[in-house]
Amino acid sequence: MIIYKTKDYQDMSRKAAQVIAAQITMKPDCVLGLATGSSPVGLYQHLVEQYNNKELDFSKVTSVNLDEYKGLAPDHEQSYRRFMDSNLFDHVNIDKSRTFVPNGLEEDSSKACSDYNQTIQKAGGVDLQLLGIGNNGHIGFNEPGEAFECETHCVELTPSTIEANKRFFASEADVPRYAYTMGIRNIMQAKKILLIASGRAKAQALKEALYGPVTPHVPASILQLHADVVVVADEEALELID
Ligand code: F6R
């Protein structure tokens, strides 16, 4: 595991974008596993900037996103599909037919999940998986206590995640209660993992994930067992680690 300590969010975003840019440059037809949330917004801006400067070409890239709220249509303001379109896909030359997000409108959870596992498999597996980390140590929507061996599955969001995500919705009652998420098994099958974290709110989770026991109670702790993990985190997120 390589840990890069950056000064702040901007610096984290720049450094993490470099890791993704290097992946695309080295393998133009790579499969990127992507994440949503506040953490990657700056990173996506850097990728768009590099594309505009003709330093990056997304034309052969395939992407698979980690997760999607169950019940939200792709064009819903808070859907993760919409997030990806407005933060990245609409601004670069990626072929949208090769950008995948779990189907939030599929009511049959086992179908939605097995379809998504097949999508990942058909794409040839993930070359580089980008991850944020939840305040409770979750990755994707893999909440504390879930089995490590899960593939894509439907989860009931914990009160802590609903609380953290309500900032994006009109009220807490509007936050969907279920989501489809890649499982830890899918994540661990990625060839390389890039974990980003910024801010004090992440410090405890990051410390437990990187240096605590490997336990389903801290889903991100499983990353200690992956052979190729790069962590890019700012000083505040790393403040509990010597
Ligand atoms: C997003 C995702 C989540 C977030 C995590 C951190 O696709 O899967 O695990 O990465 O909740 O969220 P932010 O970045 O908003 O702090």
Which among 149, 125, 130 has a CA at the least distance from the CA of 47?
130
30 touches 125 (CB < 8 A): no
**Ligand 1: which atom is nearest the Cα of residue 140?**
8
- Which residues, including other chains, have CB under 8 Å from residue 159's CB and lie 6 or more apart? none
The span from the CA of 157 to the CA of 145, in Å, is 12
CB of 214 closer than 8 Å to CB of 221: yes
User: Where would I find the H helices in 88-108?
Assistant: none
Read off the tokens for 92.
């670069």
State the average pLDDT over residues 176-191: 97
* Element of type H or E holding 16: helix 9-26
Most informative mutation of 72, 101, 133, 196 for ligand 1 (most atoms within 8 A of CB): 133
How confident is the model over 132-147, as pLDDT tens digits? 999 999 999 999 998 8
Annotated catalytic residue: which of 67, 68, 146, 208? 67
**pLDDT over threshold 90, residue 28:** yes
Our answer on whether the CB atom of 36 is closer than 6 Å to any ligand 1 atom is yes
Residue 147 structure tokens: 């089995």
Give the model's confidence band at 9: pLDDT under 50 very low, under 70 low, under 90 confident, else very high: very high
Pocket test residue of 36, 65, 87 for ligand 1, highest count of atoms within 8 A of CB: 36
The answer, as to whether pTM is greater than 0.85, is yes
227: helix, strand or coil: coil
- Give dist(CA 232, CA 43) in Å, integer: 11
Backbone angles phi, psi at 125, to 5 degrees: 85, 165
What is the average per-residue pLDDT within 215-232?
98
How large a percentage of the chain has pLDDT more than 90? 95
Q: Read off the pLDDT of each residue in 61-81 and give the average, rounded to a whole number.
A: 96
What's the mean pLDDT when you consider all of the chain?
97
Q: What is the pLDDT of residue 135?
A: 92
